Structure 1
């Protein structure tokens, strides 16, 4: 952006992210709840969590995972979803809005994991489209952030295919399981970029 032009302005209205169900393009996103733990546990394989902060293996793991997510939901900083196959109702994984900033009208899409059976399908693209459309067109956010382990080539390629802009690497960003030091790749989409990103996603989903 030129430094000589006027700075952009946005309405100073606090962001509110109420529970919602989103559906289309082969997936259904519904509010994550404790009763989903058993079905999600059946999807857990170590390969699914190769680059995630934590590994989920058992129903007890999923129960704790959901409890933490719902505590964040109660604080207003996250909105977690269960991902289902739109046609069969079969659970496929989870995703969420997170790092929600009421004042700045920004949020992150993250903590997404899908069962291996959903890999190389349009499930992830469908989820991202629904979440981005709701964020920009209903919630009127200014910026959506996405991030992943810099080593996770599959995740980075998927984020880039969506149309997100690479912002850089946050070095030694966090300690993950077993004390591994993780560098994190950051991406974002701005409200001004959304129309072009939306058109690209609709084209991809239409071909799919």
Structure 2
């Protein structure tokens, strides 16, 4: 027969225990479901009724014309010659236009730069290898051809830039002059062979 005191102790121990946890159903409140349904319906209505093909001013007030940019002018007026020089020429000819002694000739005071624009445009278009004499000094570096890398307007702009910098005072070069030089030298398969091919700047 069980001891009544032990039964009382067991009952007291059971009374002190918490009930085992269990998961109750917690459905989403109806007002939340109603809000979600309303948002979905509004989004569908907006997509169906909006005119997606109509060009419109953007949120920052720019238009499609602003994003497309300005067309390049025929004479290179819309092209920044200084920027082209910085991107394509400064590594060899330096920001000062002095070049690198014995390797890359200077543009500052160069008779080639301030000479005939057709000759100068042809040099930039087709490149030069071999000995080239600039300001009485022979240089044996190689200048790459830019005919396939720069447009007529870009070449005109950069040549106009260098002809007006570092004390140079020659006139501007037009895109038309570059286009004519491009046509005249179109059959060249290799760069100019320095002095042997170009002669003197005034020749």
Please give the TM-score of this superposition, normalised by the length of structure 2. 0.25
Kindly name which structure, 1 or 2, has the bigger radius of gyration based on alpha carbons: 2
Q: Which has the higher strand share?
A: 1
